């Protein structure tokens, strides 16, 4: 994220555009999905996985997930309106995005957003008003890890 949010997109992806939230506009956070992962969440590291199916990602995440999560970037943002702009960069099947509260209690009390149908090269916007709390985001269709998002009050 650019500006006050401290999110820096890697050089090979477009930078997220921080909108002026004082005017009521949402902040856009751009995320790029490649095989089995979000690039920005893993500090720009592309693990070079070229899955042909969901099962390929499940196996990769079973083998490497714990170590990758330990190194993954925790996205921290203030409460407010956001658009998560998600791009399918080279995944040969439809993918999506799912943001929800972390754990059962947070999943029940915090806002969430989800959707799918993003074919190769397509980008989709997922709008949500985030309240303070702990969230995770992932893609169940191109199984990624559950990356952390902390919304501060």
pLDDT of res. 41: 98
Query: What is the percent of the chain where pLDDT is above 90?
Result: 84
Give me 152's structure tokens.
């501060």
Question: In the predicted model, is pLDDT for residue 20 greater than 70?
Answer: no
pLDDT surpassing 50 at residue 6: no
Bridge pairing between strands 147-152 and 75-78: parallel
> In this prediction, what percent of the chain has a pLDDT beyond 70?
84
pLDDT of amino acid 11: 31
Give the pLDDT mean for 69-86. 97
Q: For the range 2-6, what are the long-range contacts, defined as Cβ-Cβ under 8 Å and sequence gap of 24 or more? A: 4/78, 5/76, 5/77, 5/78, 6/76
Mean pLDDT of the chain: 88
- What pTM, to 2 d.p., does this model score? 0.84
pLDDT, average across residues 3-22:
36
CATH code at position 68: 2.60.40.420
Domain count, the chain: 1
Lowest mean pLDDT among 1-5, 32-36, 37-41: 1-5
Assess whether pLDDT exceeds 80 at residue 40: yes
pLDDT at position 8 over 90:
no
pLDDT at res. 23: 57
Contacts 24+ apart (CB under 8 A), 99-103: 99/126, 99/128, 99/135, 99/136, 99/137, 99/149, 100/135, 100/136, 100/137, 101/133, 101/134, 101/135, 101/136, 102/133, 102/134, 102/135, 102/136, 102/146, 102/148, 103/134
- CA–CA distance, 17 with 3 (Å, rounded to integer): 9
Residue closest to 35 by CA, chosen among 92, 83, 75, 82: 92
- Residue 24: give the domain boundaries: 3-152
> pLDDT for 125-143, tens place per residue?
999 999 999 999 999 999 9
**In terms of Cα–Cα distance, which of 138, 133, 145 is closest to 113?**
138
pLDDT category, 21, cuts 50, 70, 90?
very low
């Amino acid at each position: 994220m650019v500006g006050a949010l401290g999110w820096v997109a890697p050089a090979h992806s477009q930078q997220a555009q921080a909108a002026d939230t004082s005017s009521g506009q949402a902040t856009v956070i751009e995320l790029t999905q490649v095989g089995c992962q979000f690039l920005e969440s893993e500090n720009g590291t592309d693990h070079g996985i070229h899955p042909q199916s969901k099962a390929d990602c499940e196996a990769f995440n079973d083998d490497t997930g714990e170590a990758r999560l330990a190194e993954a970037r925790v996205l921290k943002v203030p409460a407010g309106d956001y658009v998560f702009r998600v791009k399918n960069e080279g995944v040969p099947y439809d993918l999506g995005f799912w943001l929800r509260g972390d754990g059962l209690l947070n999943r029940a009390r915090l806002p969430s957003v989800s959707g799918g149908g993003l074919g190769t090269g397509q980008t989709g916007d997922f709008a949500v008003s985030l309240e303070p709390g702990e969230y995770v985001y992932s893609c169940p269709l191109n199984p990624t890890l559950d990356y952390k998002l902390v919304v501060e009050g």
